[in-house]
């Protein structure tokens, strides 16, 4: 919670997103949401970085496009899973 710098915000958002990603959830949608959250934090920090080095933000737009593609891919996986299993519960995934 300590915000000395804008850098700490990034660390915190990134960590929280990862934590949700690795946690045991009931729905697949939560995992996808956590991935979006991670993407969002990286977008924010990329913006700050580019601002500090006085660089044009074209790369940021490219990043945005690709992250959106990734999100849509995740959603399509979710849809196909719901179509085959009827729900998105995924607690049966295990190492063994």
Partner 1 sequence: MCFNSFFFLFFFMLINFFFFVYFIMNGLSVFFEWEIISFNSMSIVMSILLDWMSLLFMMFVSLISSVVIFYSKSYMNSELNLNRFIILVLMFVFSMVLLIISPNLISILLGWDGLGLISYCLVIYYQNLKSYNAGMLTALSNRIGDVMILMVICWVMNYGSWNYIFYFDFMKNDYVMFIISFMIIIAAMTKNAQIPFSSWLPAAMAAPTPVSALVHSSTLVTAGVYLLIRFNYLLIDMFFFKVLLFLSILTMFMSGISANYEFDLKKIIALSTLSQLGLMMSILSLGFPDIAFFHLLTHAMFKALLFMCAGVIIHMMNDIQDIRYMGGLSLYIPLTSLCLNISNLSLCGIPFLSGFYSKDLILEMVSFNSFNLMVFILFYLSTGLTVFYTFRLIMYVMINDFNLMMIYNLYDEDYIMLNSMFVLLFMSLLSGSFLSWFIFSYPYMIYLPFNLKLMVIYVSILGSILGFMVSNMGIYSLNKLLLSYNLSSFLCLMWFMPNLSTYGLSYIYLNFSQILFKNIDMGWSEIYSGKGIFNILKNYSVFYNIYQMNNFKIYLFSFILWFMILFIFFFI
Q: Which is nearer to partner 1, 22 or 53 (CB)?
A: 22
Cα separation, 90 vs 87, whole angstroms: 9
Q: Which is nearer to partner 1, 58 or 93 (CB)?
A: 93
Cα separation, 29 vs 31, whole angstroms: 5
| Binding of partner 1 by 94 (CB under 8 A) | yes
| Binding of partner 1 by 67 (CB under 8 A) | no
- Which of the stretches 18-26, 37-45, 47-55, 76-84 binds partner 1 when contact is defined by CB under 8 A? 18-26
| Exposure string for 32-69, b = 16+ CB within 10 A, e = fewer | bbbbbbbbebbeebbeeeeeeeeeeeeebeebeeebee
CB of 79 to partner 1, least distance (A): 22
Residues that bind partner 1 (CB under 8 A): 11, 15, 18-19, 21-24, 91, 93-96
């Amino acid at each position: 919670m300590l915000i000395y710098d804008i850098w700490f915000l990034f660390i915190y958002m990134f960590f929280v997103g990862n934590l949700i990603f690795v946690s045991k959830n009931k729905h697949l949608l939560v995992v996808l949401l956590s991935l979006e959250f991670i993407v969002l934090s990286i977008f924010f920090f990329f913006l700050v970085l580019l601002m500090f080095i006085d660089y044009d933000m074209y790369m940021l737009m490219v990043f945005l496009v690709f992250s959106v593609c990734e999100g849509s891919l995740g959603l399509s996986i979710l849809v196909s899973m719901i179509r085959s299993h009827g729900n998105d519960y995924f607690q049966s995934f295990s190492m063994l």
